[in-house]
Chains A and B, each alone.
Chain A
Amino acid sequence: MTVTVETLKSYFEEYGWTYEMVDDDHFLTGFSSEVVDTFAIYITLAPNWVYFAIAPFVEAPKDPECELKPYGHLLRLCQQINMAKFSVDSDGDVILTVELPRENLDYSEFSDALGALSYYADQTYETVHALAADPNAVSAFEEESDLDWGS
């Protein structure tokens, strides 16, 4: 059965987070974090998918020199994280997202999606933000490759 707006409202009640309906297909919620005051999470009900997204997670790098490092870092992070992924939208902003099939979306999956977004946002924000703003910032993955020893 396809999840409805009413189902998502009941999941929010069970999860204990406040939310607002932006329109018929969009919810807005958020959580306080140690690294920024609040991360806003948008939940979109599309015909086949439910999207949970922090958008923007980090705004587009303004300095072209700051593009390569965060992009490489985000793609390495994508390999390490489960359920979620990083992407870039048409404005160049970084998005952190979880997408789940709308069919039979149950409370456990809803809870996992919000949990994954919260955890990965908290864990990764500071470095991604620094890499997008500071040409001298260093990704942990760069340091890792510096230690690569080839015989």
Chain B
Amino acid sequence: MPGDEPVVSLRDVVKAFGEVVALDGFDLSVAPSRVTVLVGPNGAGKTTALRLLTGALTPDEGSALTFGLDPSGSMGDDVRRRCGMFSAKPALYDRLSGYENLRYSAELYEVGPTWPDRIAEAAARFGIDHALDQQVGGYSTGMKTRLALARAVLHEPDLLLLDEPTSGLDPESSHAVLGLIGDMASQGKTVVMCTHLLLEAEGLADDLVVMDAGRTLVAGPPDDLARQVWPGVTVRLEALDGPPAAALVEAAGGRVVDDGLTTLVVEVADLAAVPRLIDHLRDEGVLLTRVDTRRPTLDELYFALRGLRGTST
């Protein structure tokens, strides 16, 4: 596969389970060495999309290619060997020890004669080396998560797929997950993650795909998407007596983005408009305590995009 070809390419994919349509003309293209985050409400089709990438499911219509190959075809085993999957539910064998779980994966993915070293490295990386001899049934949720992470990267996959990776995790385990994604990205690996917790994708996502009802609402780098919604500069304002009145801001040429209890988020045309806005508010007697030009969070972006496309939350 040439270097600039997409690692993942889903085109006009339809996938239904009985009468429930999970994906309805879904498109996805993931470039190499990018972190792509699929976001959307429950039932948007995120997990189904991930399952298509390894050939665990096959499309009813449309095409799915991973590494340029059909993952549900005769070359599917080669595709799956290059993928690492981390599911929301760790999918570990409770009656086996941590070591045996990793060994099972190493043998199925045909890691080769270095598998004992790989197991030791992966376990140490996620801080579960001390518990490898114990039965997984006795592990805490966090330990299971870290073991599942170690298993997902044991065979050094080129494509890491994560399905709701921090759902229900303690801060340490969440940190381990996000650290892994960062490490994979820095190694030039491709990551596709689906989530409905946008906070975890903050700062990691090279590309954002907003899904709803099995379709792509919008896709692209977060900054590009943000510019579609807010072409100007976003400023967060707080004042001594509560947030400034929206009318005052609009009189100075600003547009109110979010009118919160303590904070007013406004958009102005460019950075030069910020001092003018401050002067205007000061002249009106507003005692500003915080002025913060900022990039909108993915959370704000997500809801703004969904609002633009007229979907319900």
A and B co-occur in one complex? no
| Residues of chain A at the chain B interface (Cβ within 8 Å) | none
